C-alpha cells in the first residue's frame, strides 16, 4: 500500500482534478484589485448554466451550511410559518436552522430512503395556506435520494405564492436542475461536492420574486445579507474578502465543465449511478433507495448479513479506500459511495473491485468479478 495513495469515495469532500489544484496554486492577489474583478467577471456567467438560471450566482466564503442559513435568514422572518420537507439528515438540518432562528417550523417527515410524494405536499399546503416558504433537499446526501424537485415546484406554484427554497449541495453540478424553468426561488450548493473544489465556497441563486421578499426583510444580518453580494457582484466584486484561491480553482472547474459539456457531465453521473446499483444488485446486497428515487451522485447500501462499518474499516486499512457510513439512526446500518465531480466510470470499476475483495475479507461469500461484470454491462448497453 502506497502511503500517499488515497481513494476517496465519500459524498463530499470529493477528489479534486489535478489541473484545478494547480490553478489554485497561483500567487495571491489583492481582493480589491483589477485581477479579482476580472476573475469574478469570467466566472459569473458560466455558473448560470450549471444552476439553470439567468440570475447571477452569488459566491460566499463558507460551507454549504452557510448557504442554507443565509437562505433562511434572508427569505423568512422570525415567527413566519415554513414547511421543511425532511427526507434525511440534511432536510433535518434545514429544520434545525429554521428553529434556531425562531421560525414557526412545520416538518413533513418522510421515511429515510424514500423520496417525498409531491401530492402529499400539495395537500399540506392546501390545509396550511399561511406557509411562507417550503424548504426541500434536491439530493439527500445521507440516504442517496433524489427528490422530485421539479414536480414539487410545479405544485407549489399552482396553489400558492410560497417561496420554494432548495438545498442542492450534493446535487448541483451532478444532477440536471433548471432553477428558472422549474420555478425554484432559491438554490444553494457548496464547492466540495460535484463542483470539484475543496470545502470553503457556498453558492446561492435567487429568483426575482424571492429578491422582492428579501429586500423587504428587516431582520438584521451582516455577513449573510444576500443583497450585499448581489449588489457587489454587479460590479464584479464581493462585499467581504473572497476565497481567492478557490475562485481560481472555480474558474478552471467551469472551463472543464464547458469542455466536457453539461449534458455529458449529467450523463456521466447517471452512468456511475447505474454501475454502482447494478454491481450491488448482482451481489444481492440491498440498496437503500428504489431505482426511481436514486441520486446520480451518491448511493447507499443497507446490507442485511454483514456489518457495513467492518467493511469500511477493511477497505480503509487494506486499500486506503474511504466510503461513508450512515448518519443518525442509520449509523452502523448503511454505507454510502459518493460518485460525483472528478470521478469516472474507470474509478467506479476500481471501487467495485476493491469492495468485492473487502467483502470476501470480512467473510461474505461473493463471487469475485460478478459486480464488475454487471457494471461493465451497463457501460456497454448504456442502461441500468
Q: Which residues contact 100 (CB under 8 A, 6 or more apart)?
A: none
Domain with CATH 3.90.1150.10 in the chain: 7-13+262-381
- The predicted structure's pLDDT at residue 219: 84
For strand 201-206 and strand 186-190, is the pairing parallel, antiparallel, or unpaired?
antiparallel
- The predicted structure's pLDDT at residue 126: 93
pTM over 0.85: yes
Domain with CATH 3.40.640.10 in the chain: 18-259
Element (H, E) at 125: helix 118-127
Give the domain 18-259 fold. 3.40.640
Q: How far apart are the first and last CA of the chain?
A: 33
Give the domain 7-13+262-381 fold. 3.90.1150
- Residue positions counted in the chain: 384
Q: Which residues contact 297 (CB under 8 A, 6 or more apart)?
A: 11, 139, 170, 171, 174, 175, 193, 194, 269, 273, 338, 339, 340
Question: DSSP class of residue 175?
Answer: B
User: Is 219 marked as binding a ligand?
Assistant: no
> DSSP 3-state assignment of 302?
coil
Contact present, 134 and 163 (Cβ < 8 Å): yes
Q: Distance between CA atoms of 166 and 384, rounded to whole angstroms?
A: 28
Burial of residue 333 (number of CB atoms within 10 Å: 0-12, 13-18, 19+): middle
Contact present, 305 and 364 (Cβ < 8 Å): yes
Per-residue pLDDT of the chain (384 residues; tens, 9 = 90+): 788 899 999 999 999 999 999 999 999 999 999 999 999 999 999 999 999 999 999 999 999 999 999 999 999 999 999 999 999 999 999 999 999 999 999 999 999 999 999 999 999 999 999 999 999 999 999 999 999 999 999 999 987 889 999 999 999 999 999 999 999 999 999 999 999 999 999 999 999 999 999 999 988 899 999 999 999 999 999 999 999 999 999 999 999 999 999 999 999 999 999 999 999 999 999 999 999 999 999 999 999 999 999 999 999 999 999 999 999 999 999 999 999 999 999 999 999 999 999 999 999 999 999 999 999 999 999 864
- The predicted structure's pLDDT at residue 383: 66
For strand 81-86 and strand 133-137, is the pairing parallel, antiparallel, or unpaired?
parallel
Amino acid at each position: 500500500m502506497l502511503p500517499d495513495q488515497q481513494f476517496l469515495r465519500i459524498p463530499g469532500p470529493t477528489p479534486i482534478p489535478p489541473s484545478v489544484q494547480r490553478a489554485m496554486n497561483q500567487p495571491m492577489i489583492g481582493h480589491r484589485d483589477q485581477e479579482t474583478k476580472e476573475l469574478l467577471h469570467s466566472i459569473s456567467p458560466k455558473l448560470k448554466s450549471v444552476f439553470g438560471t439567468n440570475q447571477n450566482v452569488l459566491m460566499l466564503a463558507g460551507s454549504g451550511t452557510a448557504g442554507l442559513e443565509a437562505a433562511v435568514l434572508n427569505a423568512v422572518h422570525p415567527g413566519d410559518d415554513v414547511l421543511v420537507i425532511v427526507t434525511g439528515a440534511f432536510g433535518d438540518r434545514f429544520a434545525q436552522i429554521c428553529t434556531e432562528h425562531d421560525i414557526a417550523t412545520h416538518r413533513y417527515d418522510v421515511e429515510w430512503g424514500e423520496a417525498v410524494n409531491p401530492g402529499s405536499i400539495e395537500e399540506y399546503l392546501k390545509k396550511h395556506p399561511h406557509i411562507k416558504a417550503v424548504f426541500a433537499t434536491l439530493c439527500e446526501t445521507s440516504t442517496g435520494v433524489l427528490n422530485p424537485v421539479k414536480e414539487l415546484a410545479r405544485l407549489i406554484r399552482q396553489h400558492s405564492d410560497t417561496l420554494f427554497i432548495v438545498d442542492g449541495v450534493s446535487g448541483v453540478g451532478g444532477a440536471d436542475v433548471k432553477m428558472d424553468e422549474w420555478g425554484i426561488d432559491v438554490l444553494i450548493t457548496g464547492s466540495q461536492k460535484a463542483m470539484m473544489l475543496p470545502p470553503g465556497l457556498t453558492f446561492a441563486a435567487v429568483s426575482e420574486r424571492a429578491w422582492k421578499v428579501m429586500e423587504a426583510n428587516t431582520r438584521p444580518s451582516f455577513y449573510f445579507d444576500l443583497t450585499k453580494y448581489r449588489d457587489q457582484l454587479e460590479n464584479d466584486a464581493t462585499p467581504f474578502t473572497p476565497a481567492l484561491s478557490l475562485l481560481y480553482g472555480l474558474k478552471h472547474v467551469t472551463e472543464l465543465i464547458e469542455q466536457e459539456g453539461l449534458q455529458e457531465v449529467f450523463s456521466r453521473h447517471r452512468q456511475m449511478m447505474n454501475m454502482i446499483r447494478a454491481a450491488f444488485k448482482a451481489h444481492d446486497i440491498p440498496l437503500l433507495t428504489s431505482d426511481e428515487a436514486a441520486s446520480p451522485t451518491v448511493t447507499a447500501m443497507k446490507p442485511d448479513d454483514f456489518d457495513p462499518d467492518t467493511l469500511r474499516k477493511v477497505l480503509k486499512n487494506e486499500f486506503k479506500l474511504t466510503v461513508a457510513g450512515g448518519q443518525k439512526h442509520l449509523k452502523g446500518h448503511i454505507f454510502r459511495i459518493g460518485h460525483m465531480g472528478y470521478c469516472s466510470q474507470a474509478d467506479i470499476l476500481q471501487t467495485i473491485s476493491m469492495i468485492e475483495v473487502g467483502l470476501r475479507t470480512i467473510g461474505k461469500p461473493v463471487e469475485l468479478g460478478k459486480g464488475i461484470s454487471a457494471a461493465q454491462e451497463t457501460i456497454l448497453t448504456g442502461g441500468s
